[in-house]
Amino acid sequence: MIIKSWNVPGPLNLPIIGAAYKFMIRPENMYNRLMEIQEKYPDGVKLWFGPKLIYFLHKPEHIEKILSSYKLVQKDEAYNIAIPVIGEGLILAPVLKWRKNRKIIMTSFHQKNLDQFVTIFTEKSYILNSVLEKQVGKNINIYDFLTKCSLDTLCETSMKLRLNVQNENNSYGYMFDKLMQLIHIKLGYLWNKFDFIYNIFGYEKEFRVLLKVFHDLSDKVVQEKQKANNIEEDILYQDSKKPQVFLDCIVDSGQFSSNELRDEVSMFLFAGTETAASTLCFVFAVLGMFQDVQDKVLQEIVDVVGLERDPEPQDLHHLQYTERVIKESLRLFPVASLFGRSVTQDTDVGDFIIPKYASVYFGVNYIHKNAKYWPNPLKFDPDRFLPEEVEKRHPCTYIPFSYGPRNCIGKNYSMMNMKVILSIVLRKYKIHCAYKRIEDIKLKMTLVLRFKDGAKVSVTLR
């Protein structure tokens, strides 16, 4: 591996630990350290962590070679740290299990099913509107409200279960946020890899308490579904024309054990809720920062949907400017800002060979801000995503949902849901944000990208 990697640059390696000394920092500073290293090596970098060789790829041609390969779909072993939370669901599943399960689960994401979810997206957005009435004019933790909205929406669209957490006083928002932090602390501090050290600092006890809350939620969903099946009716729907949702697909397939069923439910609840809420936080902040953009989005919504009518599936396709705003928000703030693969065979990416047993990571936040592909990268410009502009760029210069066979299966669901939420919320509220420039926003990495100092969002009635 040393010989094969000699022509790829990287920082000085110390005996035994390699470049690990570069990351002996507080987890909240990990984002800045990774950006510094990637900026120093714009064409890619190798890092030795003891005997472990890790590459960060930055050139879109190199990225495509890895992500488009059906032979390189194994997630990196670092992901195993999240298995106690979400099990070996679709995101973390070994390759053979992933191939089988994805084929089954994908049927629930067909467009005809997604179209039927729009009424649920709308209902949950109106509840969000109602909840926000008590927050008008206040500096609010918008993440908490969006987490509950996302959880409500996900449970009903994917599992046909009404949780109604938006109307309850519960700690689900705190639970998701804190679990993310605790996992990242274990991942970020090298010495926390040892369980006894993690336990000494009290993290393990808090982690177990929160994990029980989350697994109780997962078990509740599974039990409700099994109860519904036992009495041969659905929790919410008795109409055979209603969509076969995610949980229907995996239960009806008969190919999932009880543990596998729980893993898939946990994965969807955790990953789906967290990524949706975090993405919407960034979109809300951007709209609050750039009032002219917010005005254009609102005008498009009024032109397409109207002032009173509920959005319909066919409307969402016509919200083109709104979609560009969401995409530009994801460019600047890709929630899944770092992901990796295990290299299971020697792989020639063009300029060098990545040896078997190495790991490859993709720093999405750096790729999305690389001035070589994105002129004036910190400028918020939705027109970067006009069709004629998109055609000029390599597809792997923009990978918020990954790329290739193991990309995110929920990207269309996510886009439709966000369009509905914006079409409901913006007709009632004007969004404000204390940040004035993209440069003012400090970021941190948990398992996803977050505001370091909060979103600083408020709403007022129109």
* Residues placed in the known binding site for heme: 408
- Phi then psi dihedrals of residue 256, to 5 deg: -120, 130
- Per the listing, tokens 């599974």 go with 222
Which candidate, 236, 154, 163, 153, places its Cα nearest to that of 424? 153
In one-letter notation, the amino acid at residue 116 is Q
Structure tokens at 285: 């902040």
Q: What is the Cα–Cα distance from 268 to 109, expressed in whole angstroms?
A: 13
> Coil, helix or strand for 414?
helix
- Phi then psi dihedrals of residue 384, to 5 deg: -60, -20
Sorted by sequence, the CB contacts under 8 Å of residue 353 that are 6+ apart come out as 4, 346, 347
Q: Are 394 and 64 in contact (CB under 8 A)?
A: yes
In one-letter notation, the amino acid at residue 439 is E
Annotated binding site: 408
Q: What is the Cα–Cα distance from 24 to 93, expressed in whole angstroms?
A: 30
Q: What is the Cα–Cα distance from 64 to 395, expressed in whole angstroms?
A: 8
Q: Are 25 and 33 in contact (CB under 8 A)?
A: yes
Which candidate, 406, 102, 409, 86, places its Cα nearest to that of 259? 86
Which candidate, 228, 223, 222, places its Cα nearest to that of 261? 222
Q: What is the Cα–Cα distance from 31 to 28, expressed in whole angstroms?
A: 7
